[in-house]
Amino acid sequence: MADAAVSEPIAASADSSADEAAFRRAAARRLWLTRLAIAIAVVGALWTGWYLLFGRNHVGTDNAYVSAEMAQVTPQISATVTEVRVSDTQPVKRGDVLVVLDPATPQIALAQAEADLAAARRRFRQAEASAGAASAQVGASDADIARARAQVSSAQADFDKARTDWTRRQALAASGAVSGEELTTARRAFESAQAAVAQARAGLDQAIAAQRAAQGQYQASVAVVAGSTEDTDPAVRAAIARVQQARLDVNNTVIRAPMDGVVTQRKVQVGQRVAQGASIMTIVPVGQLYIDANFKERQLRRVRVGMPATVTADIYGGDVVYHGRVAGISGGTGSSMALIPAQNATGNWIKVVQRLPVRIALDPRELAAHPLRVGLSTEVEIDISSN
């Protein structure tokens, strides 16, 4: 009985200790839950404040990359490479010599074109001289026609006299006043005068025909040079154009940098024969880079051209911030511009959130201080509070 009496207070004390420990645990749990709720409330309030003051006025994406309008260097003529003066990663300035081609063939073509031009000028001067000679020939033919007509008149007079003499002697022959020999002589003179008239008339016709030929030649010569000078003659101008093209080909044997930038993808070696229009290297204008940021379609509701934007590049991290502006919004999504666009007319269509490229123009001074390269990853935020 004594042991039972002693055990009862001990059991009561143990139950009290257990209840107290449970109470403490419950109190601690309530305290931590309260603290957690307060922390969540604070975080929620902070997030709400951030969203109201900042978040709702900014849209961002990490699907953004550095891009540039790169220049493809292509030869304008087909020739053999004699010098290559640059290598990959080398910075160049606009006008720097990149490649030199063999100038022998273009120089020969230039010499031929210059010779053709000289010949064309000579032909024009000859045409002018021919026109003058033809004009003089037309004038001379007038004198020939006048002389031929005088000869016809003279022959006609001789013919008329011979015919009169022969007619008279024929009339006197019956009476015996004129001998037969005299009559024969008169008849021969008449026939000779008649032939002379025919010959004189043929000479006149020939002179007239010669004048017509001279006039035709004169007109043809005048048509060649009419309304033109030596420098405006079509044949001369065509020859001048060939000379200019040949000189351009000679100049094109020296290939120069079209812009400031860095040489990339050099694909040409000394001794190689390059084809006209084939790309031999690329110039990347590192001072004129921009960002192509792909935003979700819902993010672009309030985005407008000209809005300010900030850019951070993975290569520098968050320590370097670039400032720029929205330069433009693409006219279509990447999928719509694909070689084979997606066809959603089938019944098993699943909606996919589309992204639209937005171009961000950067500050050239910031690019000069912290250079970027094409293809680098960036993060972009656009301030849409001005909308």
- pTM to 2 decimals? 0.64
Q: Is the dihedral of CA 225, 228, 231, 232 positive or negative?
A: negative
The CATH label, of 1.20.1300.10, 3.30.70.3400, 1.10.287.620, 1.10.730.10, for the domain at 106-248 is 1.10.287.620
pLDDT at 259 over 90: yes
pLDDT at 223 over 90: no
Banded model confidence at residue 2, pLDDT cuts 50, 70, 90: very low
Any idea which fold 71-102+253-283 has? OB fold (Dihydrolipoamide Acetyltransferase, E2P) (2.40.50)
Domain boundaries, the chain: 55-69+285-339+350-383, 71-102+253-283, 106-248
Note the pLDDT tens digit of each residue in 300-357: 888 999 999 999 999 998 889 999 999 999 888 877 777 677 766 666 777 778 889 9
Among candidate residues 212, 241, 203, 262, the one with its CA nearest the CA of residue 68: 262
Note the pLDDT tens digit of each residue in 169-205: 666 666 666 666 666 777 777 778 778 778 877 877 7
User: What pLDDT sits at residue 178?
Assistant: 61
Q: What are phi and psi of 356, to 5 degrees?
A: -120, 130
pLDDT at 52 over 80: no
Average pLDDT over all residues of the chain: 82
Q: Which residues of 216-249 are buried (b: 16+ CB within 10 A; e: fewer)?
A: ebbeebbebbeebeeeebebbeebbebbeebbeb
Domain spanning 55-69+285-339+350-383, CATH architecture: Beta Barrel (2.40)
